[in-house]
Each structure stands twice: as C-alpha cells, then as structure tokens.
Amino acid sequence: MAMSCDHPDLLPLPEALGRLWAALPGPTLAELRAGRDDPATDRAAMDGVALRSADGRAPRRLLGTLFAGDDPATFAVTPGTAVRIMTGAALPPGADAIVPVEQLETEGTQIQLRVTPDPGDHVRSRGDQARTGELLLPAGTPRNAARVALLAQEGLALPAQPRIRVGVASTGNELVASPAPYQIRDSNGPMLAELARVLGAEVQLRPALPDDPAALAAALLNPGDIRILLTSGGVSMGEHDHLPAVLEGLGATILFHKIRLKPGKPMLAALLGDLLVLGLPGNPVSAYLNALLFLPQALARLEGRAAPDPWRRGRLTAAVKNKGDRPLLHPCRLREGQLEPLPGKGSADLVTLAQADAFAWIEQGGLEAGVKTRCLVVV
C-alpha cells in the first residue's frame, strides 16, 4: 500500500476511502437484457392525431380517440381519416405520423393541418431504444433510481432498499447533561445522528460511553441491530483513548487508523464481524468532516450504489495558509460559487463549523486568493 513519504504512518484520504470501499460487500446488478423491443410498438410521442403522412395536408375526418394503454386495432387509418391520440398510445394500423394538437384546427370531426407531416413525425418507433435481447446493463452495474426503473420496465422489480441502520455513540467521561465548567455536553452524538439521518440512514443515538475499556468492549460486542457504529472520541494518543486497543483485543480488522488530513488525523475504521466501526475523532470539526467523507462512502457501498463524489469546486476569495504537513480542510462561506474563508480556530471550533457552508481543500503550502480548489459542502 502506498503511504505518504513525509508521513509514513498516515494514509492519504483517497486510499482510506478505497480501503473502506474494498472491505465492504457491494451488491451490484446482474446483467440485464431487453425482454422485448422498447418500445414494443410504434407509439405517439405527443398528444395529437395519428394519420397517414402520404396524404399531405389534406383535411381528415376523426374516427375516434386512442389513449395510452388502448388496443390500437380498434381503428384503421385510411386515406382521409385520422385518430385522435394521446402520448404513449400505440399507433393505429395505417398511421405513420403524429401531428401535435398545437398544429391542428378541429371543427367537430374534421381537422385541418397547419403542417405537412413527414413519416415518423412525433413517433417513438418500435425498438428505437432497444431490441429484444440487447444488453441494457452489464453485470456489476451499481444501483441507481434510473436502473431500478429499467429493471421494473423489464418486469424484474428490485425490492426497495432498506435504510442502513447506523448506531451513534460518543465516548468520553467529560460528557454529561448538566456540565460543570470542566465538563461538556455531548454535541457530537446529536450532530452525527442528524448527519446520518440526512444521508439516508436509520439512526439509533445511544447514550455516551465512558472512557473505560470494559464498557467500550461491552458496547462493541452488543451493538444491537445496526450495520455501522459511528463513535466519536477515544481514537488518538491520549491515555484515555482506548478504542483502537479495545477493537484489536476483540479481534477486529483495522482497515486504517490515522489519515493524512487536517483536521481528523486520528480517524479509524474497523470491521468487527459484520459491524463497520467508524471511529471518528472527538473534536467536533474532525468528527463532522470525517463522517461527511466516510459515511456516504460506506452507505453507498452497502446499498450497491456507485461511490459518491462529495467534492465541488470553488474559487477562494482570500488566501489560506497551510504551514502543516497534511492537506487542510478550511471552513468557508459559499457565496455564488465563491469560497470565502472563515477565521477558523481549528478542530475544536464548533462555532465556526456551524457557520460554515463548505470546507476548502488547501494543499500543503497554502493557496492564494483567486485559486480554484475543491470543497466539501456541509450537509
């Protein structure tokens, strides 16, 4: 595995995302072939009248109306006749063109044309989208809503994808409901629960866990009915940062621990049996940004969707320094596609996090005003 030279123990972000992707099962679609021509008959593409183009602009007499789903054999279009037809209805025998209602004048059952029809006008011809047996989707295609529709069209409806169940548990002895000045409330728990809900997960917000290896191990061994556990805190180098060792002690597979990103270096991902543990750092900005990077990736993979690309691009309205040795995500306001850097005070700065619209990617050395860079938009 490629590690960065200046930080041999820190995994670059794309590789961390790739490792997470590769470690999770990704259900994909089987090969899909057309069971019949699409469309299976010539169809009207507009509301209007179906007629023979060979008769030019001659007036026509209306025989009746065909709606989508009607059997077209009810009528036969002959010289001097036409059939009123609605979008999606099959063309009656004899007709080869549609003249839209906007291009007609109707008096009783007589119509005059304002245009000269050509064969095939406003007709979706049989098989013009696909022929019977044609390959529609190769095996291994990720799921999306349009592909679900294509399967449904072929009579192969997929079951609705159940929401992935995500548990959220903060860690830290300092987290209490009514804090003394040396304690704090759990803000990460509600934040991550809200983010997971917005990203489409079914969320269970748990009470915060103490910094106690036995309590952490018990929570990990009895996670309840969830597929992903989002923890925050306890993954860095402090003496109370027990999560990595507890996971290892339980025989978990550590996918990665520590990534090349500021903020959010201590990020950990592990598999404990089927349970994916995303061990987010405790600082709110780090927890938020890592959840925004890794949770959509995990959800997409587990749901069989394509890997999401959370990045947008914007131009910086002011220079941002980065004297560190990791890429920096810097809080910004987003105004008409421009990134206005905020005076962020680092990874503990929940106030600036709550004011930010996006986080700009700042390479080592910093970026000048006017430079375009990618950014993560806050959800």
- Interface contacts to ligand AMP, rule CB under 6 A: 170, 172, 174-175, 184, 186-189, 232-234, 236, 238, 241, 281-284, 348
Residue with CB nearest Mg ion?
233
When the beta carbons of 60 and 265 are compared against Mg ion, the nearer one is 265
Instruction: Report whether 358 contacts 312 (CB < 8 A).
Output: yes
C-alpha distance from residue 59 to each of 62, 81, 115, 141, 203 (Å):
10, 8, 11, 51, 65
What is the size of the binding site for Mg ion (CB under 5 A)? Answer: 4
Q: Which is nearer to Mg ion, 39 or 234 (CB)?
A: 234
- In angstroms, give the least distance from the CB of 190 to Mg ion: 17
Q: Which is nearer to ligand AMP, 15 or 174 (CB)?
A: 174
- What whole-number distance in Å separates Cα of residue 257 and Cα of residue 235? 8
| Site for Mg ion contains 92 (CB under 5 A) | no
Extract the tokens encoding 213: 């290896």
Interacting span for Mg ion (CB under 5 A) from 53-61, 225-233, 247-255, 308-316: 225-233
| 137 versus 350: smaller Cβ distance to ligand AMP | 350
For Mg ion, the closer of residues 189 and 234 by Cβ is: 234
The option from ligand AMP, Mg ion, none interacting with 47 (CB < 5 to 8 A, set by class) reads none
Helix pair 284-302, 13-23: axis angle to 10 deg: 40
333-to-250, 275, 369 alpha-carbon distances in Å? 43, 36, 14
Which parts of 229-268 interact with Mg ion (CB under 5 A)?
233-234
Cβ 238 to Mg ion shortest distance, Å: 7
- Residue whose CB is less far from ligand AMP, 117 or 284: 284
What residue 45 binds from ligand AMP, Mg ion, none (CB within 5 to 8 A, per partner kind)? none
Residues between 149 and 188 with contacts to Mg ion, criterion CB under 5 A: 172
Nearer to Mg ion, 30 or 245 (CB): 245
With CB cut-offs between 5 and 8 Å by kind, which of ligand AMP, Mg ion, none does residue 283 bind? Answer: ligand AMP
- Nearest distance from C-beta of residue 238 to ligand AMP, angstroms: 5
Q: Per CB under 5 A, does 281 bind Mg ion?
A: no
DSSP symbol at 155: T
* DSSP string over 179-218: --TT-B---HHHHHHHHHHHTT-EEEEPPPBPS-HHHHHH
Rounded distance between C-alpha atoms, residue 232 and residue 268, angstroms: 10
The DSSP-derived string for 284-353 is HHHHHHHHHHHHHHHHHHHTTPPPP--EEEEEESS-B---SSS-EEEEEEEETTEEEE-----TT-HHHH
> Could you say whether residue 282 binds Mg ion (CB under 5 A)?
yes
Q: How far is CA 192 from CA 67, 120, 201, in A?
A: 51, 56, 11
Token readout for 361 is: 């990617």
Residue nearest to ligand AMP (CB): 282
Binding residues (CB under 5 A) for Mg ion: these are 172, 233-234, 282
